[in-house]
Structure formats: structure tokens, C-alpha cells
Structure 1
Amino acid sequence: MFFSFVTAARRLPPGSRRLVLALLLAGPASRAQQPAPPRPLSLPEALELAHRNAPHLQAKAYQVQAAEADITQTKTQRLPSVRLSGQVSYGSTNAVAGTMLPIGTIIPSSGSLSGVNSYNAVFGSMGTALAEWSPVTFGQYPAQLARAEAARGYAQADADNEWFTQQLRVAQTYLDLLATQSLRRVREQDVRRVGTLKKTITRLALNGLRPGVDSTLARATVAQSQLALIAAREQEADRQARLSTLLGQPGATWQPDTLYNRSLPPTLAPPPATHPTLGFQQRAVELGQARETVIRRSYRPRLSLLGATWGRGSGLGYNGQTDYGLTGAAPTRFNYAVGVGLVFDLLDWPRLQAQARAENLRTQGLQAEYRQQQLELGNQATLAGQRLALAADRAREAPVQLAAARQAYRQKLALYNSGLATVVDVTQALYGLQQAEQDQVLTANAAWQAVLLQTAAAGDFSFFFTHVTP
């Protein structure tokens, strides 16, 4: 067929021939640019995509791994430390007797005391190996390890709470998208119905059976219906973009499972469970308490076992003779020492007390937030149960409302065609029908929204799926 069109195009003038060929080539290209149909997507698949692709969930997982690495680092504090050092220097040997306090950078001057100041320099060397181990910390190390473990528990609870919140976000957006798609289809049906009504009114007005203002009102009603359809499409596009962001799939379009528009969930009570948000708050309290313990125990002394060996070389001999060569660059005298050290900062108590007091107040604030969260979740559970009961009542009344609205519209339209009703009566009946259709398609979705609110208050997302597959 394509070659027959090309053969026919050759008989046309050159300008027309180029136009026909351009149209033939543009046809397949325009068909190729049609948007892809929405992907069917079940809610479990959406949750799996979100869990696998959401960057902020990956960030929480890295924080958990970092907290586990901190535990490993804290455990290494029980190991002894061995520090090696060495140096070769070239400098003068003037020395004076006296004592200096250990502050700032102290450069010791070694050598024998001479009667005159000399700037003659010799080589010197020093090598040391110092080992230190603190087997007794009077509770400081266990407190630090408990803090690291509390930080790991806090990070894990934060990740669990974020995943639970992400599940709620995905499910909420999933149901919102399904509702907006249903609303958009209602608007499309309304546009077709209003278009047919406009043709009828316009024909009656042109035949002089109705005033011309009726056709004007009909055009306004058509425009209003079109604007409502545009608003519904805008809402659907917003929900599509939001769901794609949550799933980590930019630019995709989705078709949720219409199960949540067709059936009502049964009334079930959520099982008792530890809410992830409350668990996260509790872990925050425990971390604050662990930090306070570390601060208070840091005032305790630390007992250390010490051991060292070192070698010393110098160009200045024991008899005061000076060797200006490289003799002092190699160690010539060796020593060792072992000992026990105890470090205790006597006047550190006021500073640590202030730090511990501040940490204690922060912990009390976290405990108050925990009680506030308990209050909010309890009220949310009560509200969810009420909404679910009201959704069941709405499900019983919505079909009655829709049947009555359809009958009222047909009656008003028949009266209008008979000249016994005005166009305002018809538009009012039409508006009632629009609202009834909207309420009908959103009834089941609203019930599932109530179940989602129950799930959010219960803290166990598997409860949402027990309504689908008990």
C-alpha cells in the first residue's frame, strides 16, 4: 500500500509531491510518539519498588551500618596501644637546670651544664616504644559500649520507622491515584452527557421551542464540565508524579489495582503491636540515657599499665667531649621502664555535672514526646474506627443516592423537553447526578483509606493486607 501511494505521488506536481511524502512519513512517527499505556501495578509491587529504589531508605540503611561500625570501633578501645617514635636531630647542647610545667609545646634541652653559652651543634637520636593498656576503667568502657549499642538500636529503629512511614506514603498515594482516576472517568462521562444535552437544547432553541438563553446556559454548563475534567486530569497527573517519585521511577505512569474501588473491606480489629514510631521514640530515650551515663562515668579514674623502652644517642660524651661527626646519630644507651598509672581529674566534676544535667533534660523532653505520640496514635486509632464505620454507612446510602439522582435527572429532562421545566431545573438535577456518581465511585476507596488510617495507628502494615487476603 505504501508503494502505491508513492507511485501515485509521483504523478503530482513537485510541491504537492513533497507534501504527500512528508505526511506519509509523519504518520508512523506521530504514532510512535503516543504515550505508553499505564503499567498495571499492585500495591505489593509498589511497596517492593519503593523499598528497593527509595534513596532515603538506602541512607537509613547506611546509617545502621555506620552505627554497627561504631560498635566495632568502641570494642577496639579495650586493646592496648603501642606507640613507636624516633628522631635524629642536629642542634646545640646548652642546658640549664630547672623545672617547666607541661603546657603548650615544650622542647627539652639535654646535655651537661657548661660555663659558657656555645652554639656548636652535634647530632643526637632518640627512639621509643611505649605501650599502654587500661584494663580497669571503673565502668567507663561498659558505658561507652552501651552507648554505641544504643546508637545502633536508635539507627535501626529510625530505619524501621522510616520504612513504615514510606509504606504509608506509597499506599496513600496509591489509593489517591486510584480515586483521581475514577473521578476523571466520571468527569469524562459527564462531559459526554453534557455535550448531548447541549445539542438537544441548542436544537430546541434554534427551532424556537426554547429561549436562546437556554443554549447559552448549556454552553456554560459544557465549559464548566470541561474545566472539571481538566482539574481531574491535573490531579491525576500530580498523583502519578508523586507515586513515581516514591517508587524511584521518574516519568512512569501507573494503573493501580481497581480492587480497592470494587469491594469494601471487612471490619477487623488491628492486632496489638509495637508501633515503629513509638519504638523509635523509645530508642531515642535509651540513647539519651546511655549518653548521660557516659558523661557521669567519665569522672571516674582510669587505671593503666605502662611499659616502655627507648634508646638515646648523642654527640656529647659522658666526659663532656664533643663529637661533631655522625656518632650521635645512632643510639648508644638503652633503657626500659614499667609502671602503673592512675589518671583522675579532680576538678572536672562541675563541668561534667552540667553536661549530664543538660543530657538528662533532653532525655526528659524525649520522654514527653513519647507520651505525646502515644496520645496521638490512640486518638488516631479511635478516628480510624469511626471512619470505617461511617464508610460502611456511606456504602449503603451511595447506591440509593445514585439511583434517585439518575431518576431525578431523567424526569427533569423529560419535563424540560415537554416545556414544563426550565434549563436551571435540568442543570440542578445534573449537578446532583454528578455528585452522586462521584460519591459512588469513591465510597469503597474511602473505606480503604480508613483501613489505612487504622494501619497507621496500629503500627503493623501487614494488617492492611489481611483485608485483601484474610
Structure 2
Amino acid sequence: MYKQGIAGLLALQLSFCLLPNTGNGQVLSIGEAIRTGQTNYGTIKAKSGIVKASEASAAQARKDYLPNLNFSLQQDFGTINGQNGPLYGMGLAVASSGLPLPDQNWNSAFGALYLTNVNWDFYAFGRAREKIRVAETAISRDQNDLDQELFQHGVRVAGAYLNLLAAQRLIRSWENNLERATAIKNVVAAKSKNGLVPGVDSSFANAEISNAKISLTQAHDQEQELSARLAQLMGITEQEFALDSAFVKAIPDISSDPSKINNHPLLQYYSSRIAFSDQQVKYFHTLGLPTLSMFGVFQGRGAGFSASYATNQHAYTQNYLEGIKPVRANYLIGVGATWNVTNILRIKQQVTSQKFISQAYKEEYDMIDNQLKNQLILSDNKIRNAISNFTEAPIQVQSASDAYLQKSVLYKNGLSNIVDITQALYLLNRAETSRDVAFINVWQAFLLKAAASGDLSAFANQ
């Protein structure tokens, strides 16, 4: 599960094909989109609940050190025939306390036992302390897991936001393309009506309009998919979005880009997994050591059988109140030690197993660290390439626009053919779409670096 999330973060790529702006409501900023997604998304809510559960488990671990205090009460009715002989306490036996008599009898009376017991494992060579520390490192691990999920989801929302914005900008280019194709058709229709151009020019013009309409429809379809994707990541119902156009008017301040990964949320999470496993090793070590206990018992007992019952089997009463009234009391206090010596052999293997798990976590940490460092290098290359394309895009648009204008004038004056003007139309449309995407690509590359460095604020604060 975690590896899938990591792959989604580290495989963040520049998305260049996208589409339309149909929202007329309040402008949704990228920061607001990220905050909404981090608040509403189901996975984040689930991991927030896991953190709370870990906090409750840590509170329980602290209370496990408290003494055990038990109260017991029982009232019985039965016989007290006793017999000499050895027994082993395997359960499912009664505790009737009568002398062995020569013959069986069925004399019955009421009896009662009232018991208070205190037991406290006051020293176990740090077992309680290490158990508490395990619970506390579990909180740290789960909190870091939540933090890395918040970070990754912020990156996903930001990427979806930029993709949708690029899609909305591209629709405008396809709408302009359709307008130009329609204008060409009108010119061709007028010239064809007057016999100035062959009829095949009208077919070319009609085909170009159909192609422009299909492309525009495909652009709308793509925009609707990206809008649904953004709504899903934000945890809201699908809707039309009016996005911040600042991303297509300026590029980010690259000089302030993040370049360190030491505090990356992913690395923090994987580091906390190692710490949790290492703490479990320390706790397991204590399970093979002795336990020192203090205990105390106070007991009250009542019986319907008289003290002379051993010599007079008629010395008993079946009166309920007489039987349950406590007439004897005992107390006991003491200190004891228990040590299952063979636990040492069992715990040794458990410790060995946990050490291997810690080593596996360290290998995963090193792998993620290497991936992030390589991702930083890749993001620098992406930024340079995106800026290079951003610089060339206006030159391409201007040249294509001049060429289209020239071909239009030549065609209107009968000095060019329909193939030349449609080719110029295609080049101008390609240049405009490249320009629309060039801005977004720089932001996408910057987001890629923010994702690799673990500092999304450097992106969101631009």
C-alpha cells in the first residue's frame, strides 16, 4: 500500500495533454484545493483515526503498570465430603473443605467467600517502561505516516489542478482554431461561388471545420475527466472549476526551489518504522527476564457447618443467613518472583526475527533515499527543459501567426492555394497549444522538484 503511494509520488510526470474552462464561480486557488483535499480525502481521515488509536494504546500501556485489584464474592450450597489423596489443579473441580469421614453423606448447608486481592508486578527489568516506549514510537510512526500521506496527497491535488488548468487553456486554442477554420470556409465559399477557386477548395475547408469541431469536443471530454479527477482528490462532488490563471501568466521563482531531502515526509516515515522496530527489539529482550511481584489477600468466609461437625454430623444448619454470614477472616501479604527460564530460548528467536525486520526497513529507507536524490536530479533537468520550451514558445507563435496572416492574404488575392493556408492554420494551432502548455510545464517541473524534496510550501507559496 505504502509502496503504491510512493510510486505515485516519485513517478509524477509532466502532463502535457489537457482542456476547457466552463466555471463561472469563485476562483479556486491551488492552496485552497490542497487544503480541501487534505481535509476531506478518505485515506487521510482513516490514517487520522489510526493516530488516535495509537495514542489510546499508549495511554493503555502506561496504565498497564498499575496494580491489579480484584474483588470476589460467592455464595454456595452443597456438601463438604472430603477424601485423602493427591490432586493437580487443572480446573473444573470444587473446593469443598471438609474432613475425610468414614462414609458418604448428603448433609448440605450454605457457605460464602468474600475476597479482595491485590497483585502488582512492581519490577520486571524495564519491561513496562519498554512497552510504553513501543507504544509511543507507534504514535510517532503513525503520525509520520499521516504526514507523508498529507504531503503526497497535496502533490496529487496540485498535479491534478495544473493538468485541469492546462486543459482549460487548451480549449481556448481549439476554439480559436475553429473560428479561423470557419473564416477560411467563408472566404472559400465566396470565391467558389464566383468561380474564382475550384470546388475542391470547399471540400478542404469543410474537412478542416469538421476536424476542428472534433478536436474541440475531444478537448472538452478531456477537461471533464480532469475536473472529475480533481473533485475526487478534493473529496467533493464533481463540479466545474474556475482556476487561478496566474499559472499561465508567470513562471515560478526557480531560485527559491527546494533542494534538500533530509526532512522529506517519506524519509521521516520510513525512519520512524525503523525506530519502532528497534524499540520492539528492546522490549522483546525484557520478556525473557524474571518478574518480581507484590501481593496481598484479605478473605472472609462463612459456612453453615459447625466447628464440631467432624465429630457430630448433625452440627450444621441450612439457614441461608447463617450460612452466608462471614465468621472467619484471613489475610496474606508477600513478595514473589517468577521466571520461565525456557522463555530465554523463545525470546532469542523473536529478537532475531525483529532485527531482520529492522534491517529490511533500513534497506527500504536507503532505497527511498536514493530514489528521491535521483528524482531531484531529474527535476532539475525537467525545469531546464521546460524553461527552454517556455522561451521558444512565443517565437513559435509569432512566426506561425505571421505565416498564417501572409497565406490568408495571398489566398484572398488568388496567389496561394487551399493546401498552403490549411498548413499555415495547422502550424498556428500547434504553436498556440505549445504556448499554452509551456507555462504549465514549468510549474509541473517545479512541482516535481517540490515532491522530490519534500517541501510543498515552496510551490504553494509562489
TM-score above 0.5, yes or no: yes
Q: Which residue in 2 is equivalent to 1:262?
A: 249
Deviation at 1:206, TM superposition (A): 4.1
Q: Which residue in 1 is equivalent to 2:329?
A: 334
Structure 1 CA distance, aligned partners of 2:61 and 2:33?
40
Structure 2 CA distance, aligned partners of 1:80 and 1:376?
50
Q: Which residue in 1 is equivalent to 2:189?
A: 202
Q: Which residue in 2 is equivalent to 1:29?
A: none
Q: Which residue in 2 is equivalent to 1:113?
A: 100
Find 1:437's aligned residue among 432, 436, 442.
432
Q: Which residue in 2 is equivalent to 1:138?
A: 125
Are residues 1:379 and 2:367 paired? no
Shift in alpha-carbon separation, 1:116–1:227, aligned structure 2, 3 A = farther
Provide, for residues 241-271 of structure 1, a one-character-per-residue CA deviation record: whole Å limited to 9, x for no partner. 2222333332432212111111122322415
Are residues 1:72 and 2:59 paired? yes
**Kept after mapping to 1: 8 A contact 2:113/2:300:** yes
Shift in alpha-carbon separation, 1:151–1:105, aligned structure 2, 3 A = farther
Find 2:318's aligned residue among 324, 344, 347.
324
Structure 1 CA distance, aligned partners of 2:273 and 2:331?
49
Provide, for residues 294-340 of structure 1, a one-character-per-residue CA deviation record: whole Å limited to 9, x for no partner. 22221111111011111122222222233222222222211000111
Deviation at 1:451, TM superposition (A): 0.9
Output the TM-score relative to the length of structure 2: 0.88
Between 1:278-287 and 1:243-252, the stretch displaced more is 243-252
Secondary structure at 1:292 match in 2: helix
Deviation at 1:368, TM superposition (A): 1.1
For structure 1, which runs of at least 5 residues remain unmatched after alignment?
1-34
**Kept after mapping to 2: 8 A contact 1:173/1:242:** yes
* Matching of residues 338-349 of structure 1 within 5 Å: 338-349=333-344
Structure 2 CA distance, aligned partners of 1:222 and 1:100?
101
Secondary structure at 2:316 match in 1: coil
Structure 2 CA distance, aligned partners of 1:437 and 1:58?
42
Structure 2 CA distance, aligned partners of 1:123 and 1:191?
101
* Matching of residues 219-298 of structure 1 within 5 Å: 219-268=206-255, 269-270=257-258, 272=260, 273-298=262-287
Structure 2 CA distance, aligned partners of 1:97 and 1:324?
26
Q: Which residue in 1 is equivalent to 2:292?
A: 303
**Kept after mapping to 2: 8 A contact 1:111/1:316:** no
Secondary structure at 1:259 match in 2: helix
Between 1:303-312 and 1:290-299, the stretch displaced more is 290-299
Secondary structure at 2:119 match in 1: strand
Q: Which residue in 1 is equivalent to 2:35?
A: 48
Q: Which residue in 2 is equivalent to 1:5?
A: none
Shift in alpha-carbon separation, 1:104–1:350, aligned structure 2, 3 A = farther
Deviation at 1:183, TM superposition (A): 0.7
Find 1:312's aligned residue among 289, 301, 317.
301
How many percent of aligned residue pairs carry the same amino acid? 31
Output the TM-score relative to the length of structure 1: 0.86
* Matching of residues 9-28 of structure 1 within 5 Å: none
Structure 1 CA distance, aligned partners of 2:156 and 2:221?
20
**Kept after mapping to 1: 8 A contact 2:23/2:242:** no
Are residues 1:360 and 2:355 paired? yes
Secondary structure at 1:97 match in 2: coil
Provide, for residues 391-421 of structure 1, a one-character-per-residue CA deviation record: whole Å limited to 9, x for no partner. 1111211111111212222333444445555
Structure 2 CA distance, aligned partners of 1:63 and 1:318?
61
Shift in alpha-carbon separation, 1:345–1:202, aligned structure 2, 3 A = farther
Shift in alpha-carbon separation, 1:271–1:118, aligned structure 2, 3 A = same
Q: Which residue in 2 is equivalent to 1:89?
A: 76
Q: How many residues align?
A: 433
Provide, for residues 119-150 of structure 1, a one-character-per-residue CA deviation record: whole Å limited to 9, x for no partner. 34321111111101122111211110110110
Secondary structure at 2:254 match in 1: coil
Shift in alpha-carbon separation, 1:356–1:207, aligned structure 2, 3 A = farther
Between 1:134-143 and 1:270-279, the stretch displaced more is 270-279
Secondary structure at 2:342 match in 1: helix
The amino acid of 1:286's aligned partner reads A
Shift in alpha-carbon separation, 1:350–1:224, aligned structure 2, 3 A = farther
The amino acid of 1:260's aligned partner reads F
Q: Which residue in 2 is equivalent to 1:182?
A: 169
Secondary structure at 2:346 match in 1: helix
**Kept after mapping to 2: 8 A contact 1:39/1:253:** no
Structure 1 CA distance, aligned partners of 2:426 and 2:84?
105
**Kept after mapping to 2: 8 A contact 1:195/1:222:** yes
Secondary structure at 1:148 match in 2: helix
For structure 2, which runs of at least 5 residues remain unmatched after alignment?
1-21, 310-314
Structure 2 CA distance, aligned partners of 1:407 and 1:138?
85
Between 1:343-352 and 1:80-89, the stretch displaced more is 343-352
